[in-house]
């Protein structure tokens, strides 16, 4: 476990105000955090899904917070008041110790104790508070795979596809840098010849695939390697309609290369390197993640086309029936005219 991710919702039984937020951190570090507060009557409308994965939760949280502060009249004032309270609390207590306790309780899985711990922190905000907590232990590799899902859509452009199909790249294994959302650096700060950890997305194809898998077995005793360090050989700026990306070519060993397309906004783990093997079939796990992303996109497309598919094709029999109906209407009108004006 590299990181703890504690998501919570607390409801004051005295004022009915609801605060939602999260703590993200490492052992012996001051955590990152964010919160927002709404009156209880708006709790359902702006409720954040605490069970969401790392990226999904953050996306949901940011969207709900932005909407709440824009749409709820008291939202900004209540949120500012809560941050004032938290500033006082953080001065009284050692945030580094709070972070260490959050790490310990998340690692142990003692969620009841974690609920009590957060209730104690919030006691001066409200003496009577009801707390919901979901705590997730994370590895850097877990965070990286969460971002890969989001990255998958951004990279689905003809420009990226054509670049990755270049003769010098098309059969190489695809990889992705291991991310550190707290202390990471951008790809702009990483130079050629620097060593960075990467997760493996696939083994490549043809002779490159066999060569890469053979290298993993000989070096680490298994093909199921989640992440390993590689040396940056080249870094190219690629401009696409979805923004700019960096194309990386990485050398893991003599003659063993991989390719990666990376956003300049990502926070890449930099410094200490490690190899992480997996107890599960790594490629199956990656396949399920990417297939799940493809399936959700296909379902969205199918949903958007359902009304088009339900339109019945017009045939010659439809025209014949319409012609007969028109004759009948004309006949009725002629008869009525004759009766009225004769």
pLDDT band at 229 (very low <50, low <70, confident <90, very high): very high
Burial (CB count <10 Å: 0-12, 13-18, 19+), residue 196: buried
134: three-class secondary structure by DSSP: strand
- Residue 322: the pLDDT is 47
pLDDT at 78: 95
What is the structure's pLDDT at 164? 78
Closest CA to 6 of 122, 137, 113, 144: 137
- If pLDDT is split at 50, 70 and 90, which confidence band does 331 have? low
Cβ atoms within 10 A of the Cβ of 3, count?
23
Asked if residue 33 has pLDDT above 90, the reply is yes
Is residue 57 over pLDDT 50?
yes
Contacts of 295 (CB under 8 A, 6+ apart): none
Tell me what the pLDDT averaged over the chain comes to: 82
What average pLDDT does this structure show over 274-284?
Answer: 80
CA distance from start to end of the chain: 97
Residue 156's pLDDT band, with cuts at 50, 70 and 90, is low
pLDDT level of residue 291 (50, 70, 90 thresholds): low
pLDDT (tens digit, 9 = 90+) per residue, 87-117? 888 888 888 889 999 999 999 998 899 999 9
- Name which residue leads in pLDDT, 236 or 322: 236
Task: Quote the CA–CA distance of 306 and 298 in Å, as a whole number.
Answer: 12
Please state the separation of Cα 166 from the chain's center in Å: 29
Q: Residue 190 above 70 pLDDT?
A: yes
Structure confidence at residue 155 (pLDDT)? 67
Give pLDDT, residue 309. Answer: 37
Q: Note the pLDDT of residue 181.
A: 92
Q: Is 4 helix (H, G, I), strand (E, B) or coil?
A: strand
**Predicted confidence band at 323 (pLDDT cuts at 50, 70, 90)?**
very low
pLDDT of 142 above 90: no
Where is average pLDDT lowest: 48-52, 147-151, 202-206, 287-291? 287-291
Span 176-188, average pLDDT: 93
DSSP string, 251-319: EEETTEEEEEEE-TT--B--SS---EE-SS-HHHHHHHHHHHHHHHHHHHHHHHHHHHHTSPPP-HHHH
Starting at the earlier edge strand, list the strands of the sheet with 18-25. 32-38, 18-25, 3-12, 129-138
| The two structure tokens encoding residue 275 | 């190899």
**Smallest Cα–Cα separation from 109: which of 80, 85, 135, 130?**
135
Q: Mind giving me the DSSP string for 140-176?
A: HHHHHHHHHHHHHHHT-SHHHHHHHTSTTTTTSPBEE
The H or E element containing residue 14 is none
The answer on pLDDT for 1 being more than 70 is: yes
Banded model confidence at residue 313, pLDDT cuts 50, 70, 90: very low
Asked whether the predicted pLDDT for residue 334 surpasses 80, the reply is: no
pTM above 0.85, yes or no: no
| pLDDT of the residue at 311 | 33
């Amino acid at each position: 476990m590299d990181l703890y991710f504690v998501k919570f919702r607390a409801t004051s039984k005295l004022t009915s105000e609801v605060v939602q937020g999260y703590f993200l951190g490492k052992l012996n570090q001051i955590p990152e955090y964010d919160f927002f507060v709404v009156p209880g009557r708006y709790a359902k409308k702006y409720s954040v899904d605490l069970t969401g994965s790392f990226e999904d939760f953050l996306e949901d949280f940011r969207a709900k917070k932005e909407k709440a502060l824009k749409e709820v009249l008291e939202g900004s004032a209540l949120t500012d008041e809560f941050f004032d309270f938290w500033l006082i609390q953080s001065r009284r207590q050692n945030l580094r110790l709070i972070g260490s306790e959050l790490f310990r309780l998340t690692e142990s899985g003692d969620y009841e104790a974690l609920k009590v711990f957060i209730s104690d922190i919030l006691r001066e905000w409200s003496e009577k508070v009801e707390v919901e907590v979901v705590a997730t232990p994370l590895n850097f590799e877990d965070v990286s795979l969460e971002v890969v899902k989001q990255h998958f859509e951004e990279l689905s452009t003809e420009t990226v596809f054509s670049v990755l199909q270049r003769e010098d790249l098309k059969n190489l294994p695809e990889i992705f840098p291991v991310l550190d959302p707290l202390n990471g650096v951008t790809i702009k700060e990483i130079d050629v010849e620097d060593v960075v950890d990467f997760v493996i997305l696939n083994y490549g194809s043809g002779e490159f695939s066999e060569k890469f898998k053979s290298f993993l077995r000989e070096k680490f005793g298994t093909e199921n390697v989640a992440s390993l360090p590689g040396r940056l050989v080249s870094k190219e700026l690629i401009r696409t309609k979805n923004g700019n990306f960096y194309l990386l070519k990485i050398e893991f060993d003599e003659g063993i290369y991989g390719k990666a397309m990376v956003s300049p906004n990502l926070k890449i783990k930099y410094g200490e390197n490690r190899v992480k093997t997996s107890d599960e079939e790594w490629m199956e796990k990656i396949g399920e993640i990417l297939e799940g992303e493809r399936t959700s996109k296909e379902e969205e497309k199918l949903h958007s086309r359902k009304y088009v598919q339900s339109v019945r094709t017009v045939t010659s029999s439809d025209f014949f029936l319409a012609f007969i109906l028109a004759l009948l209407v004309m006949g009725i009108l002629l008869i009525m005219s004759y009766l009225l004006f004769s």
